[in-house]
Amino acid sequence: MKINILSFGQVAEALNADQLLLSDMDNTDRVLDYLKSVYPQLQTMEFTLAVNKQLIHGNTALKDDDTLALLPPFSGG
């Protein structure tokens, strides 16, 4: 199972990439645990998650080819 990861703003800077591809991740908690272990600076960052362009709150199951976006805080204008 492959999950596409998109990151923006300060999150992309922390990952040093705006796109990643991860395998064998079946839920968002597992992805976050992995990313925070590989990129410890994420542990202190605030960001919102979206799966397939839908904002989520809490752990969410993932399917093959889902896209998980890591969205930093933003303001309207």
SS3 4: strand
Tens-digit pLDDT profile for residues 40-68: 999 999 999 999 999 999 999 999 999 99
SS3 67: strand
What is the residue-averaged pLDDT of the chain? Answer: 95
The per-residue DSSP string of 23-52 comes to ES--BHHHHHHHHHHH-GGGGG---EEEET
Closest CA to 68 of 6, 23, 18: 6
Where residue 73 falls among pLDDT bands split at 50, 70, 90? confident
What pLDDT, on a 0 to 100 scale, did the predictor assign at position 75? Answer: 66
Point out which residues pair with 50 in neighbouring strands: 55, 69
Question: What domains can you pick out in the chain, each with its CATH number?
Answer: 2-71 (3.10.20.30)
